[in-house]
A and B are shown apart, each in its own frame.
Chain A
Amino acid sequence: MAGYLLRRVAQALAVVLFVTVIVFILLHQLPGGPARAVLGNRATPLEITQFNQDNGLDRPVPVQYLVYLRHWLTGDFGFSYKLNQPVGALLAQRLPKTLVLNALALVLTIAVAVPVGIYQAVRRNRLFDYVATTLAFICYAAPTFYLGLILVLVFAQKLNVLPPEAPQSDGVVPIFADFRGMILPIVTLALLGIAGFSRYMRSAVLDNLTQDYVRTARSKGCSSSRVLSRHVLRNALIPIATLIGLSLPALFAGALVTESIFNFPGMGLLFWQAAQTSDYPVELGVVLVTAVATVLGNLLADLSYALLDPRVRYA
């Protein structure tokens, strides 16, 4: 297993490296060059030259890349002239909030999708199965913002039980103080995941129920519920770790939309606002951080899969 782990880590590092290259390329696609794009159209030639010097843009391209790499490794993501703050500080402020939102949504997703999927498999082709499948399809097909809007309509407007806006505070801890405001964003973000995961659980449990080892378990005298809880679930749940890793990009994307609906001051909202004001350093900084977070998440997921599956652990 050690071999597998080290190989995965090496792969992840390679991917992160490629991500930095991609972001670097993106930076240079900016119209008019990075300097003008960042400083704005009214920048004077002197400011532009100064900017180029500060950021090493007057050097050959490979050297530029190395300069950028060094900046990024030391946490310097540039400066946002629109918001007048270093990008790094903005990210440090917003990232934890988004991570908390994503984590809570993920917890909700697993907590709902796993039992629903299992129940669908056990009561296959009955009413619950059909209803759940239809709901899953709709949640999958409806854009997140649409579902969010409907939720706001129903719960915030008509029923008036939950606030339509998320807590605006700065830190992470105050989020939990005013938790009612988080409920709708978390549910909105989780809906897409619930649809996907419940479909997966359903088909995984169904697949496992037809396997030989289930027949063996039944021949030993296990009741149906014991077969399910002690045998099938152990097998069906192992790949969930990998699935969680695979769903991270979608989770971040969903966070973007959710934050914009509920005005939650996380990284997604930051990105959107930056996109609307053409604040490129911020955009690129967010892209980079999100990508790295996704790669790390995938790595963690793969590692836990290796731990959970004895076939990999004791290869």
Chain B
Amino acid sequence: MALLEIRDLSTDITLRRTVVHALDRVSLEVSAGQTLGIVGESGCGKTMTAMSIERLLPPGGQIVGGSVRFDGRELTALPEREMCEVRGGEIGMIFQDPATSLNAVQPVGSQVAEPLRLHRGVSRAQARTQVIDMFARVGIPSPARRYDDYPHQLSGGQRQRVMIAMALICHPKLLIADEPTTALDVTIQKQVLELIDDLRAEIGMAVILVTHDLGVIAGSADRVAVMYAGRIVETAGAVELFANPRHRYTEALFAALPDRVAGTAQRLYSIPGLPPDLTDPPSACRFAPRCRHAVARCRTETPDLSGDHHAFACFVPRPAGPAAPVASAVPAAGARAVGEAGWVAPTTYVPADGTALLSVSDLAKDFPVRTGLIAQRNAGAVSAVAGVTFRLDRGEAVGLVGESGCGKTTLARLIVGLEQPSRGEILFRGRRVDRLRGTARRLERRHVQLMFQDSYASLDPRMRVRAILREPLEIQGVGTSRDRDRRVDELLDAVGLPRRSAERYPHEFSGGQRQRIGLARALALQPGLIVADEPVSALDVSVQAQILNLMKDLQQDRELSYLFISHDLAVVRYLTDRIAVMYLGRIVETGPSAAVYSAPWHPYTKGLIDAIPVADPVQEAAKPRAAVPGEPPSALNPPSGCRFRTRCPRAQDLCAEQEPPLANPIGPASRLVACHFPLTSSASATVGDTSDERDMT
């Protein structure tokens, strides 16, 4: 008898004038000690399923059908008072954003103690002891002191640990985790996921893990349920699902992952179109309009889940058997008809004469820290970028990788001219650009453009797309008015948007479409270099694939160069030729993408790669445990010598005394690393390395 049985659950949300049928006959099962992963893209209903279990629906939401049996009891029929006892006492829940999910004006200790006082009736003093014990168990340092802290005094990772402590303090039988690590850095994410797993084994509870990240699912789930447009489309054991997806949507999802095609010259498969509108769902297969294998039956009948251990709801499932290489179904890059979009002049002013397109040497940016009473004296500085040197050649795509706080965004802003460097030089084609003023500076802007992360914030909501795309041309005085209009049409064609889009406002587009507009604007002045700051981080996997494909095509057509900034190594690996890894304001490793990814030299790079979840359960199971412990140190007071040494398993005394230069210990000059004890294959006795060194090829 499974601990939790959901049968035909349907949930509606009543808005002012419409009703959204968020869930349609969802059926799931979880047993004690098991982790069920619910995966899907935004709007598929996975969060709604999680909330429906505990009846925590938003205003206007209600369960309109089906049953939820938990530990023998029917939850949908419970009176509210008994439901309150189940919540927190027998079912615990953690949410995505710990910053907003905790009460900002209450100390964390009393927040974590609340379920204890509510459900177990302990006294305040007893609760305090148990909470401090729990804090220690979830890995919060100095637990006794943390009891009286407020949420804003803790880091992101610590806040999520507090949430976990709060959800588990009553030893519930079921833990529901809704996107628990989406807001965290990759290395912290790995720590948190391992923590949840350990606690699950220790307490013997069941876990429901809701996420959009297939890599996280592959590493943590025993069974997986894939959702689309409010329905379950496939469920299976994790290994089975990733090896042998049957539903066409699952297949398409995998094909859109950068992981799968990285290193080959293949394009990502991108799922065209958008999910259906759930206020008026079609009575047919909901994925049919976007499915390349759909037949007539798919558009008239609704498929039901069939199969027991591996169930799927598809009339034209993928044939059983190990996953065939997806490449055969997708044309290789460059096979598109070139003449379609019309001729567009490539960037003609960048001759291939060996001069580096962009060269940065010893670049640094300090932000003064102000304290003090009335006059606000300067009390030191935070070096967001602390001496960075690298070069980028014509036609190259270089990836800049690092976690939050490493300085990559500041570096991007320096290169684009939005910040002035405190030290160092920026050279574009051999000319210094950081010291220009006035007209020369304005003209120089044409060569380097920025693509922002938040598409919504980077487009003026009051301007039509036509005006947004014309603006760079107007500022630089390029062409006549009619030329500019023609250019707008050209740009829209290039990014795959219909020409009608020019009359619309930004808020009328989806996130992926807005990113296309941002890309079009960056292209308007025909720059030689586009700096893209996390351009796909906020997008769903299928939409992400579209944008990445687009960027790759444009790079070929227009001989563009990219500086691609991201925390997502998989995406960077797909798109770039070279990678530079940043940590706390310094570059710690740089080299060709494939080489760095398969055999990293710097311990931080290795830890980063290990931490990034890969959509393959077999690989995930074989990975070592979190190799990068702890939290990043404060940028105000960075560690002496090598900045990474406080978290490095290989740190020695030398690391604290001397800062390692970015140099090449062995091998080709294209690979550089800043480490006294790099992980090159020639380094034999790895002192202090406790993790199991496996062969990473």
Given A212-B95, A234-B106, is A221 in contact with B56 using a C-beta cutoff of 8 Å?
no
Please state if A311 and B150 are interface contacts (CB–CB under 8 Å).
Answer: yes
Question: Is the CB of B105 closer than 8 A to any CB of chain A?
Answer: yes
10 nearest A-B pairs in the assembled complex, by CB-CB distance:
A221-B88, A220-B88, A221-B87, A212-B100, A219-B93, A6-B373, A310-B150, A212-B101, A213-B103, A221-B84
Question: Is the CB of A162 closer than 8 A to any CB of chain B?
Answer: no
**A220-B118 Cα distance, complex, nearest whole Å:** 9
Please state if A223 and B84 are interface contacts (CB–CB under 8 Å).
Answer: yes
**A2-B373 Cα distance, complex, nearest whole Å:** 7
Size of B's binding interface in residues, CB under 8 A: 38
Residue of A nearest to B114 (CB): A220
Please state if A215 and B95 are interface contacts (CB–CB under 8 Å).
Answer: yes
**A218-B115 Cα distance, complex, nearest whole Å:** 10
Given A219-B88, A220-B87, is A3 in contact with B104 using a C-beta cutoff of 8 Å?
no
A residues near B (Cβ < 8 Å) are 2-3, 6-7, 10, 210-213, 215-223, 231, 234-235, 238, 309-311, 314
Please state if B115 and A213 are interface contacts (CB–CB under 8 Å).
Answer: no
A-B contact pairs, 29 of them (CB 8 A): A2-B373, A3-B372, A6-B374, A7-B373, A10-B374, A210-B59, A212-B95, A212-B100, A213-B100, A215-B56, A215-B95, A216-B102, A216-B103, A219-B56, A219-B88, A219-B93, A219-B95, A221-B84, A221-B86, A221-B118, A222-B114, A222-B118, A223-B81, A231-B103, A235-B103, A310-B150, A310-B152, A311-B152, A314-B152
| B84 contacts across to A, CB distance below 8 A | 221-223
| A221 contacts across to B, CB distance below 8 A | 84-89, 115, 118-119
| B115 contacts across to A, CB distance below 8 A | 220-221
Query: Interface readout for B449-474 with A: 1 if CB under 8 Å, 0 if not?
Result: 00000000000000000000000000
Residue of A nearest to B85 (CB): A221
**A234-B105 Cα distance, complex, nearest whole Å:** 7
Please state if A219 and B54 are interface contacts (CB–CB under 8 Å).
Answer: yes
| B86 contacts across to A, CB distance below 8 A | 221
Question: Is the CB of B426 closer than 8 A to any CB of chain A?
Answer: no
**Measured between C-beta atoms, what is the minimum distance from B83 to chain A in Å?**
8
Besides A211-B100, A222-B84, 8 more A-B contacts (Cβ < 8 Å) are A210-B59, A212-B97, A216-B95, A219-B56, A220-B88, A220-B114, A234-B106, A310-B152
**A211-B371 Cα distance, complex, nearest whole Å:** 32
**A196-B103 Cα distance, complex, nearest whole Å:** 27
Which residues B66-120 have CB closer than 8 A to chain A? Answer: 80-81, 84-89, 92-93, 95, 97, 100-107, 114-115, 118-119
**A211-B103 Cα distance, complex, nearest whole Å:** 10
| A215 contacts across to B, CB distance below 8 A | 56, 95, 101
A235's partner among B54, B105, B163 (CB-CB below 8 A) is: B105
| B494 contacts across to A, CB distance below 8 A | none
| A2 contacts across to B, CB distance below 8 A | 373
**A221-B167 Cα distance, complex, nearest whole Å:** 11
**Measured between C-beta atoms, what is the minimum distance from B303 to chain A in Å?**
34
| B59 contacts across to A, CB distance below 8 A | 210
Query: Interface readout for B493-530 with A: 1 if CB under 8 Å, 0 if not?
Result: 00000000000000000000000000000000000000
Question: Is the CB of B30 closer than 8 A to any CB of chain A?
Answer: no
Given A2-B373, A10-B374, is A219 in contact with B87 using a C-beta cutoff of 8 Å?
yes
Please state if A217 and B104 are interface contacts (CB–CB under 8 Å).
Answer: no
Question: Is the CB of B166 closer than 8 A to any CB of chain A?
Answer: yes
Please state if B104 and A220 are interface contacts (CB–CB under 8 Å).
Answer: no
Please state if B152 and A213 are interface contacts (CB–CB under 8 Å).
Answer: no
Question: Is the CB of B153 closer than 8 A to any CB of chain A?
Answer: yes
**A310-B150 Cα distance, complex, nearest whole Å:** 7
Residue of B nearest to A235 (CB): B105
Please state if B119 and A3 are interface contacts (CB–CB under 8 Å).
Answer: no
Please state if A238 and B87 are interface contacts (CB–CB under 8 Å).
Answer: no
Given A3-B373, A223-B84, is A217 in contact with B103 using a C-beta cutoff of 8 Å?
yes
Please state if A216 and B372 are interface contacts (CB–CB under 8 Å).
Answer: no
| A235 contacts across to B, CB distance below 8 A | 103-105
**Measured between C-beta atoms, what is the minimum distance from B105 to chain A in Å?**
5
Please state if B105 and A238 are interface contacts (CB–CB under 8 Å).
Answer: yes
**A310-B84 Cα distance, complex, nearest whole Å:** 29
**A218-B166 Cα distance, complex, nearest whole Å:** 12
Residue of A nearest to B97 (CB): A212
Given A221-B119, A314-B150, A314-B153, is A216 in contact with B374 using a C-beta cutoff of 8 Å?
no
**Measured between C-beta atoms, what is the minimum distance from A193 to chain B in Å?**
25
**Measured between C-beta atoms, what is the minimum distance from A258 to chain B in Å?**
36
**A219-B89 Cα distance, complex, nearest whole Å:** 10
**A92-B107 Cα distance, complex, nearest whole Å:** 45
B56's partner among A218, A234, A311 (CB-CB below 8 A) is: A218
| A6 contacts across to B, CB distance below 8 A | 373-374
Residue of A nearest to B116 (CB): A220
